[in-house]
């Protein structure tokens, strides 16, 4: 809810959660989280924790699960691994439609993996979660650079360049804003 509040008043057209909206260890709030997602019409992509909760619901391994189990399971089964909107792609980690893709982080501290992603995809801007360190990769003139994203930083989205943004974690008090009208990404930190 704090991320939603932090984005309130910023003329946000669509909320997108980049996965791990459920916690596979602390599962007592699954129904509450589902209610928040639905109430606020938040688009989601599936993360590794969400996948684990889905498998636990299927197998009956979640004990003391509050109702409605079927609604949560149906929601998870319908949650895609990636969402593409125009020239932007949103995924938990790797921008591919395979389960393996959300277990492998893009940011391994170097630019090599990002360079591979730029070669294998055509999206102009990729937003992902999974890794909790907010960084971005920029592909410009055949070269990939990696930079930290400080709180309040605005990164201009140049149409001649390509980007990968690792947004960070709402759990750590941060989210991102992608402004398609003014063409920038902003890291937002909240309490």
Give 50-106 pLDDT, tens digit per residue. 999 999 888 888 766 665 678 889 999 999 999 999 999 999 999 998 988 888 899
Do you know the residue count of the chain? 191
- Quote the percentage of the chain above a pLDDT of 90: 62
Q: What's the CA angle centered on 126, arms 73 and 123, to 5 degrees? A: 110
Q: What CATH number has the domain bearing residue 59?
A: 3.60.21.10
pLDDT at 187: 94
Q: What's the CA angle centered on 14, arms 176 and 12, to 5 degrees? A: 65
Instruction: Specify the number of domains making up the chain.
Output: 1
Please state, in angstroms and rounded to a whole number, the distance separating the CA atoms of residues 77 and 50.
10
The Cα-based distances of 161 to 48, 117, 141, 158, 184 in angstroms read 30, 14, 8, 5, 12
Q: Whole domain around residue 150: which residue ranges?
A: 2-189
Residue holding tokens 């969400």? 50
pLDDT at 64: 62
Q: What pTM does this model have?
A: 0.92
């Amino acid at each position: 809810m704090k991320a939603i509040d932090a984005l309130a008043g910023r003329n946000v057209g669509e909320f997108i959660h980049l996965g791990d909206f459920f916690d596979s260890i602390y599962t007592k709030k699954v129904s509450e989280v589902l209610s928040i997602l639905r109430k606020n019409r938040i688009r989601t992509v599936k993360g590794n924790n969400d996948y684990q909760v889905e498998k636990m619901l299927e197998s009956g391994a979640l004990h003391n699960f509050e109702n409605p189990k079927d609604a949560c399971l149906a929601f998870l089964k319908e949650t895609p691994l990636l969402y593409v909107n125009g020239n932007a792609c949103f995924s938990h980690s790797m921008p591919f439609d395979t389960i393996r893709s959300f277990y492998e982080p893009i940011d391994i501290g170097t630019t090599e993996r990002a360079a591979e992603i730029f070669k294998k995809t055509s999206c102009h801007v990729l937003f992902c979660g999974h890794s909790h360190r907010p960084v971005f990769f920029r592909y410009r003139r055949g070269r990939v650079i990696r930079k930290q994203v400080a709180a309040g930083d605005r990164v201009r989205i140049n149409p001649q360049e390509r980007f990968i943004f690792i947004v960070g974690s709402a759990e750590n008090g941060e989210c991102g804003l992608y402004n398609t009208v003014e063409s920038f990404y902003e890291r937002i930190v909240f309490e």
